[in-house]
Structure 1
């Protein structure tokens, strides 16, 4: 039986209870040890499955069982990339890890580490599974990537990806070297482009941290000011200056249907500025969303299902 569609699920961030509510609302039921859909639909987890919530093990168990059963696919997010780097020793200096174990990085990764104590068997098993996740997927003419769809950059990465589009050890190492071209490439694909605000301007991110670099809505059909192109918490948008950009910005228009996460949307209409690109991450206001795609050419907010805690 051929697939009837994809249910693209946003950044779960260790919130298994909310994930179960969403799966049930989408029509997935437990069958033979995994959640599956009676109409042969397939879930796609868009990355950032870990960190944040206090149900890390249960979240990964649900998703892994679905992937093993063929009822789901999952791709790499920046949090999974960070976790793999955090767990990998630097071959150039075996006393260090690719991602430094400083206070900031440990704090951001604390929820995962609390449930998967480092060096334990369960920890290594989880890291091994995350390491095998593809960077992106293309299915039935649809692309899935965590933050930014750039076919030109992906083409350049192909020699450093495995056949299933997962990272090779060489790419993982190179992507953690600031002087490597792969460092910037992987940052763009997994975190998206950013733009520095003019002097004197700042906003608070979803964690309340003061920032002066905005995430850029690379998919926008148009925009000439910082406010036009800023993907920031809705409560902070008025702090972004509505003045012309002081640097050149290239918007990466695409006619291909693309699903992304990462951007912590707060309103469903903001996730569909472009009818070919849909963001399914609503973790900014603690919600979990899915887009129910059944082959439509033009993406519409009518097919977004958003669950509140």
Structure 2
């Protein structure tokens, strides 16, 4: 079979992405990164935001998709960028321009400031990216594959791509479209008790926590907690209520392999379950940019992970980056 190299959240670590591709035998030829044996990369989304070389990473990824050497699913950060720049019927952005959202997208806006037409072209391109991919032996989604949501979604949208009407309805909480996007790009989560918040490792104050969807018959919040930030001990021991369980999902062990990102894992890559692998290992936090080299095996194997540790030189001083962009703009135009 054709081999696949599934790559986790890049978040603007453009140089590290190139190092990982080189490590796996890809070379930049005829305008795109290609593998001599015809392997194909599948990106799990979140190419944009946070890192220092977002524009470079987007160009590399799009060149590969255009050349047929890669595929990609939409991440929550690409979706959020679309919503940030799309207005509703009242002229208000689908994603509010508040301080929290501005902080997340600011690095992307800064890097594309000299290239507004180019950024608009990437936004248009995001609308072409599917929310999920299904192959004979595996599935790919950014955060969570919820069978109860995916079956009706794929019946109506077999290519898993949003059209304009679907996208606009997805910004309405409670709609089916919102549920699809929420599951695919943000995963499952539970709200903390009223008035309780926690400060996450990336400095945000959160009133909810991310949950797993592969634990059979969980009992407590700690059983389904899946994120780098721990909860208070009394919260981790809190029993799941019937209402809590309605917010959860379960991906059966007998289903085909599922690859996803989104969850800021730490340490060395590991297989969650014989048919489940998370590929997000916090690259933009000086973690690892991780790939899984899939060759049709019936049981996922931790020995098939490869990765590059993100080095400090991935993040040059801001003035150096601005000088690079200015010089490139002068040379281009």
What is the TM-score of this pair, normalised by structure 2? 0.83
- Once the two structures are TM-superposed, the CA of residue 207 in structure 1 deviates from its matched residue by 0.3
Q: Distance in 2 between matches of 1:152 and 1:231?
A: 21
Which shifted more, 224-233 or 126-135? 224-233
Which shifted more, 46-55 or 95-104? 95-104
Within 5 Å, give how 1:30-49 maps onto structure 2.
Answer: 30-49=28-47
Query: What RMSD in Å do the two structures reach over aligned CA positions?
Result: 2.3
Q: Distance in 2 between matches of 1:186 and 1:54?
A: 27
2:275 maps to 1:279? no
2:152 maps to 1:153? no
For 1:226, the equivalent position in structure 2 comes to 221
- Once the two structures are TM-superposed, the CA of residue 196 in structure 1 deviates from its matched residue by 2.9
8 Å CA contact 2:188–2:249 kept in 1: the answer is no
2:6 maps to 1:8? yes
- What is the aligned counterpart of 1:109 among 105, 108, 113? 105
- Once the two structures are TM-superposed, the CA of residue 21 in structure 1 deviates from its matched residue by 1.0
- What is the aligned counterpart of 2:240 among 230, 237, 246? 246
How far does the alpha carbon of each residue in 1:2-33 deviate from its partner, in whole angstroms, 9 at most, with x for none?
Answer: 62x11100000011011011111111111211
How far does the alpha carbon of each residue in 1:213-272 deviate from its partner, in whole angstroms, 9 at most, with x for none?
Answer: 211111234542222211121x63675744152323355132211001000111346x52
Q: Distance in 2 between matches of 1:191 and 1:266?
A: 18
- The answer for unaligned runs of 5 or more in structure 1 is none
- The answer for unaligned runs of 5 or more in structure 2 is 311-333
**In 2 relative to 1, CA 176–198 (structure 1 residues): closer, same or farther, beyond 3 Å?**
closer
Please give the secondary structure, in 2, of the residue aligned with 1:43.
Answer: strand
Q: Distance in 1 between matches of 2:197 and 2:168?
A: 33
**In 2 relative to 1, CA 201–306 (structure 1 residues): closer, same or farther, beyond 3 Å?**
farther
8 Å CA contact 2:261–2:280 kept in 1: the answer is yes
Aligned pairs, number: 302
2:260 maps to 1:264? no
8 Å CA contact 1:9–1:290 kept in 2: the answer is yes
Q: Distance in 2 between matches of 1:241 and 1:79?
A: 29
2:230 maps to 1:236? yes
